[in-house]
């Protein structure tokens, strides 16, 4: 049961990392379009920060999930 759960968590971790990479890929294309909207023009630096923060959080969280569950599958980690 633990192995099947770890495999599902590895798939989820891969999805998180790929989503983070996708966000990083799309930021240069989407944020300049947001800057054209008058209400967002002044806070464009904050918008960039938030978008990159989300991307890094997704990548780090997915990487942590991958590392932890890979150790469980390989028998080197604890089950907590």
Chain segment 22-71, per-residue pLDDT in tens: 999 999 999 999 999 989 889 999 999 999 999 999 999 999 999 999 99
Task: Determine the Cα–Cα distance for residues 31 and 41; give it in Å rounded to an integer.
Answer: 10
Sign of the alpha-carbon torsion through 71, 73, 76, 78 = positive
The structure tokens 């300049």 sit at 32
Angle, in degrees to the nearest 10, between helices 44-74 and 2-35: 170
Residue 79 lies in a domain: no
Domain extent, residue 16, equals 2-74
pTM to 2 decimal places: 0.85
Task: Determine the Cα–Cα distance for residues 42 and 21; give it in Å rounded to an integer.
Answer: 26
The domain tally of the chain equals 1
Residue 80 lies in a domain: no
Residue 17 lies in a domain: yes
More confident residue, 74 or 19: 19
């Amino acid at each position: 049961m633990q192995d099947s759960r770890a495999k599902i968590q590895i798939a989820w971790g891969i999805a998180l990392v790929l989503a983070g990479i996708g966000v990083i890929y799309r930021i240069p294309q989407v944020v300049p379009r947001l800057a054209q909207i008058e209400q967002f023009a002044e806070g464009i630096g904050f918008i960039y920060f938030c978008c990159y923060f989300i991307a890094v959080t997704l990548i780090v969280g997915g990487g942590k999930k991958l590392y932890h569950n890979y150790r469980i599958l390989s028998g080197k980690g604890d089950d907590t």
